[in-house]
Amino acid sequence: MNETGRTIAKNMGAMMGTQLVTWLLSFILSIFLPRYLGASAVGEIAVAASVWTIASVLIAFGMDTHLTKMIARDPAHMPDLLGTSLTIRTIFFLIACILVTGYLYLFNFNSKIVYIAIIIGVSTIIGVYSATLSSVFVGLERMEFNSLSSIVSKTFLTVLTLLLIFMHANIYAIVALSIVTGSVSLSILIYALKRQYALRMHVTFADAWAMLRMSTPYLITSLVIAVYVQIDQIFIATMVDTRTVGWYSTATNLFGTTMFLPVAIGTTLLPVLSRSYTTSQHQLQHIARRSFDLMFLISVPIGFGIIVIANPLVIMLYGSEFAQSGPVLAVLGSVLIFMYLNTLLGQLLISTDRTSKWNLVMTGGVLLTLPLDLVLVPWTRDTYGNGALGGTIAFLFTEFWMVVGAILLLPKNTIQWSNVRTAALSLFAGLVMIATSWWWRETLMPLSILVGAVTYIGLVFLLRIVSHEDLLLLKELGSHLVRRFRRTPKVAPKPNPD
């Protein structure tokens, strides 16, 4: 394995180590919170959070991706880029407060949702600042600090949430924990960055304008994604009720815990791909092909596994009140494969300066979602008593559309027939996995999972889906992952400016 491969494995191991821990903590919360709050309260939080999710994208203005790319290419400009970005975000947050207030007033939301939205608004600006520093560390390829802040803050959130549940706290106290844990994360990142670099806040109008101009394509990308992800909840809340939003939100939150793998892989690869695009097209294509194979290889068993156990899993975790979340989660199992691929393909297109074209594909997905939701949400509401199912089916169609569009936009010869072979064989192994594990899903779920895993892994080796080089990468990744859990990141002393 070459030096680039070892670097990727090292950074990916650090990211996956973090993601595994935060996945476990998120999974714990996804079990206890819905049971404690109930479907209607979960829906109210989801509606308020949707407003600020879109607002936070406008506040960040696509600068996270811009910072990562620019710092990866020239780390010396980091202090100026950081200061400019933080200043812009502060101004935009004040504007966002006015816009969110107007939105809540215009649509006459009840006081409970308004109070929740105020609390989430405070945590939003803290999260936006944290995202700025995280982007800096990604660009510097020092992801261990992001890992540390993420693990500590998520641990605080999980422990304190469980404590509040035990104390029978109200919904406002639980939502307010995001302010506390966000502050912890931000403090860790600030401390780590100050120990590493001498920071300065030199901001000029020209620098700010240049950053906004160059970040605009990434803003469009982020905004389209935010609207695309949140639009289903808004439609469901409008055409059905907050209880149905709770079913949908519970399934998507549980599904979201499985996204740690593509996030870790995509975050690790972005600076490497951005640098390779300007230095070595051959290396870029090589990394892209191997990453595509890896993403298909891991998404198929996870997605198909969710399809198998979705209904009994939801009943076991949340009880009969959330039974309608089961079919939603099952459809999301199919969505997962396309989302994993889109996470990688989006990073490839951004790193090769095809962001504007990728924005067009995603905008097409949003435009496709609107008529699909208008038809499918009321249809599934009336036919199956579950309008959330319609939003999920629309999600499946649009994710497939974006995978096709992204592949067509990739540089020529990026994806080859060898990748098609890997995808086809992985899907075949996944279908066999479903056939062998389906029979025990209701009565012996652990046995069903075990049989499925053994079947899939056995077929992967029998059909020789994984190449020797990919096996070396997985081995190296596993070694770094193990070492990650055996040690704690150390903060290097601040260099002497003299």
Arithmetic mean of pLDDT, 67-75: 83
CA torsion 72-73-76-82 (nearest 10°) is -50
Which of these, 484, 480, 453, lies nearest to 305 by C-alpha position? 453
Does the pLDDT at position 62 exceed 80?
yes
pLDDT at 478: 53
pLDDT at 439: 86
And the tokens for 403?
A: 């995978």
Arithmetic mean of pLDDT, 316-344: 90
Higher-pLDDT residue of 128, 222: 128
DSSP 8-state class, residue 414? S
Cα–Cα distances in angstroms (integers) from residue 221 to residues 28, 126, 218, 365, in the given order: 31, 22, 5, 12
Q: Mean pLDDT for the chain? A: 82
Arithmetic mean of pLDDT, 47-70: 88
Higher-pLDDT residue of 217, 55: 55
Does the pLDDT at position 15 exceed 90?
no
The segment with the largest mean pLDDT, out of 120-129, 223-232, 272-281, is 120-129
pLDDT at 491: 39
Does the pLDDT at position 468 exceed 70?
no
Lowest-pLDDT range, 94-108, 234-248, 449-463?
A: 234-248
Domain positions in the chain are: 3-415+467-486
Does the pLDDT at position 335 exceed 80?
yes
**Contacting residues for 21 by C-beta, under 8 A, at least 6 apart:** 151, 154
Q: What percent of the chain has pLDDT over 70?
A: 85
**Contacting residues for 162 by C-beta, under 8 A, at least 6 apart:** 28, 32
Angstrom distance (rounded) from CA 18 to CA 181:
16
3-state secondary structure of 466: coil
Lowest-pLDDT range, 2-11, 134-143, 379-388, 470-479?
A: 2-11
Lowest-pLDDT range, 21-30, 157-166, 430-439, 451-460?
A: 21-30
